[in-house]
Amino acid sequence: MRKQFGAKASKLDLYNYSKSNYWNGVIFENLEVTTMDFSWSKMPEFLHKQFFKKEGREAQSLPVIPFDVELLQISNTSMQSIWYGHSAIFMRLENATILIDPMFGSDAAPIAPFKVKRFSDSTLEIIDSFPEIDLVLISHDHYDHLDYHSILKLKEKTKLFYVALGVKRHLVSWGVPEANITEFNWWDELNFNEIKITFTPTRHFSGRGLRDRAKSLWGGWVLKTEQENIWFSGDSGYGSHFKEIGSRLGPFDFAFMECGQYNENWHQIHMYPEESVQAAIDAKVQNCMPVHWGGFALAQHSWKEPVERFIEKAGSEKLSYIIPKIGELFSSEFITDSKWWQNI
């Protein structure tokens, strides 16, 4: 079996999953009924378009600003972040170095017959320039969020991994010490380095092969300090959980909002950009940025469409947002109106 698949759930794993209120005895379930409305009769047409009709859907060699550790305010307790396309986030918070969904690999479909190539080149090498990582957060086990080659580079320089329930088995099979991994059920929280970290529900699914769908959990992350309350929404369809997150854990000073890779066939598990804006409003977000775009063509919209639709809706709703360049250092007060993607 290819290493990229990760590991199957053992009997002990399944026993541990059964302690979760969101495990139905066979798989994990969303908080509300969720289906993939995909007609199998349309599959050949869909696959042809997905893999062979790529005009406008892919960006060629999107530039990435080189990592420069000297730009970081090492002793600063407020958030400093860098976005590396899709959902990969580098963060300094409370003097700790954190990575969220650090998928830096070149292919988001490593087990598929056709590659889903990253828009930016040589991103895996960026990991070599990072300082020691205090904490890696992983929202779920899909290939565009959990990458084997990235973990191989990170495991020797990362102190701790906080992951969705069920993801630990993959990391252990790739050589990460079990003692360095903590799994989270929805609403679980831990204090880390003066940061209260909470795993929040999303409306999505998981799996790295044909037989492990929903055998691990999926979600988002809240990082709360005395100064700031930050939320990484995670992959999700629109649902009532956003208001619950806002009610229980908000308001949020800043949020990374999933926005991109949507399609009418899987609308219940990925939001349209207008819904991403509404989700931020539901969760009481003050300022935000769209993520889950600018990395891979996993759906059939143009690569620029998610951000364009997002900022149009955010503008009409008076929701503050930022769109930093890939690799650009920013804070929650960052202000830019460069619309850098329009010139590419």
SS3 call for 148: helix
Q: Say if CB 282 and CB 251 are below 8 A apart.
A: no
pLDDT of residue 47: 64
Q: What's the pLDDT band for 313 if we cut at 50, 70, 90?
A: very high
Instruction: Tell whether the model's pLDDT for residue 109 goes beyond 70.
Output: yes
For 127-156, what is each residue's pLDDT tens digit? 999 999 999 999 999 999 999 999 999 999
Whole-number pLDDT of residue 214: 97
Looking at the chain, how many residues does it have? 344
Output the average pLDDT for the chain: 94
Query: pTM for this structure?
Result: 0.96
Structure tokens at 90: 């580098």
Q: What is the mean pLDDT of residues 86-90?
A: 98
Q: What is the pLDDT of residues 202-254, one digit of tens each?
A: 999 999 998 899 999 999 999 999 999 999 999 999 999 999 999 999 999 99
Mean pLDDT of 319-332: 95
Task: State the Cα–Cα distance between residues 7 and 339, nearest whole angstrom.
Answer: 41
Q: Coil, helix or strand for 289?
A: strand
Cα distance between residue 229 and residue 253, in whole Å:
5
Contact 217, 257 (CB under 8 A): no
Helix axes 273-282, 241-249, angle to 10 degrees: 30
Adjacent-strand bridge partners of 181: 161
> Please, are residues 336 and 79 in contact by the beta-carbon 8 Å criterion?
no
The amino acid that residue 335 corresponds to is I
**Using one digit for the tens of pLDDT, what is the confidence trace for 152-199?**
999 999 999 999 999 999 999 999 999 999 999 999 999 999 999 999
The pLDDT tens digits of the residues spanning 246-271 come to 999 999 999 999 999 999 989 999 99
Structure letter (DSSP) for residue 325: P
What domains are there in the chain, each with its CATH number? 3-343 (3.60.15.10)
Which one-letter DSSP state was computed for residue 69? G
Rg of the chain taking only CA atoms, in angstroms: 19
pLDDT bin (cut points 50, 70, 90) of residue 72 is: confident
Strand partners, 138: 163
- Here the tokens at position 301 are 């919209």
Phi, psi of 171 (to 5 degrees): -65, -40
